[in-house]
Chains A and B, each alone.
Chain A
């Protein structure tokens, strides 16, 4: 039987579906008896969603233009770069 500390350690790997069968069964057995870890698992799911949804900023038009020049010429453009 694993404790809360170990359950928390496995939580994100569990959400990533990266745990092997035995660690998964131990983790899920712990959840059956631990309300706190159930809450933290749900919170972790939302936290991951929040982080993944906050994508990066849009590509600046200047960079997009330089990339097009790079792709056309096969070399990067020095225009506007520091």
Chain B
């Protein structure tokens, strides 16, 4: 069972109102009474929710716990969800909060303060430029695209796990799960400007991570290594 149990009810109801006000606004409203049973909703979202939780938790066991905790909280708060069209963002917001609580319960405080001073050097890294300059082996006419083709699912997951969580979350929500920046900001309960800033930092850490991973794992060989 989920290791972190608590904080259900009021928090999720308040979050439901907040996320509903923002996420999926274009989807329109459902007629009250059209609401699907929660079990159907949970089954529909389970695969993607699990993928989100794996990327969030960085650990399969923790991801299992997180999925269960999320669904438990969501099940209890579901009657207060006024617009079922916005269930997806609401579920992800609950998962994010459950993950934060999970970290706190284990003594790992999840940082919610700005990160402006963190990894300032990495902010300038350009994977595009690095590939062009290093021109790594194997050589190719489609150097940049071939570099990306080297990565399997596990490789990308490994790189993602190395990204600072506060920068990783905006990337996961927008790039992997297709939320708009505005929706992601609502899910994370941060201003849009902060979201965009963190998305940029996450992207830079992703670029740096992909390059470092490729070199460290022998996916490419640079001129320095051949000497």
Contacts and interface: CB of A to CB of B under 8 A. Distances in A.
Interface of A: 5, 8-9, 12-13, 16, 18, 39-40, 43-44, 46-48, 50-52, 54-60, 62-64, 66-67, 70-72, 74-78, 81-82
A44 B197 CA distance: 17
26 contacts: A8-B126, A13-B181, A18-B182, A39-B144, A43-B128, A46-B145, A46-B148, A51-B156, A52-B178, A54-B151, A55-B153, A56-B50, A56-B54, A57-B50, A57-B157, A58-B47, A59-B47, A63-B68, A66-B68, A67-B67, A71-B39, A71-B75, A74-B75, A76-B1, A76-B69, A81-B1
A50 B52 contact: no
Interface string B39-82: 10011001110111011000011001101110110010000000
Interface of B: 1-2, 38-39, 42-43, 46-48, 50-52, 54-55, 60-61, 64-65, 67-69, 71-72, 75, 124, 126-129, 144-145, 148, 151-153, 156-157, 171, 174-176, 178, 180-182, 196, 199-200, 203, 206-207
A48 B175 contact: yes
Contact of B148 (A9, A39, A47, A82): A47
Given A9-B200, A70-B75, 4 more contacts: A47-B206, A51-B175, A56-B157, A75-B72
Nearest to B131: A43
A67 B42 contact: yes
Contacts of A12: 199-200, 203
B46 A67 contact: yes
Given A18-B180, A76-B68, A51 B128 contact: no
B227 to A, nearest CB: 27
Contacts of A40: 126, 128-129
Contacts of B127: 43, 47
B175 A52 contact: yes
Contacts of B51: 55-57
B180 A16 contact: yes
Contact of A13 (B43, B65, B199): B199
A54 B50 contact: no
Contacts of B47: 58-59
A71 B71 contact: yes
A6 to B, nearest CB: 11
Given A48-B175, A60-B60, A18 B206 contact: no
Nearest to A55: B51
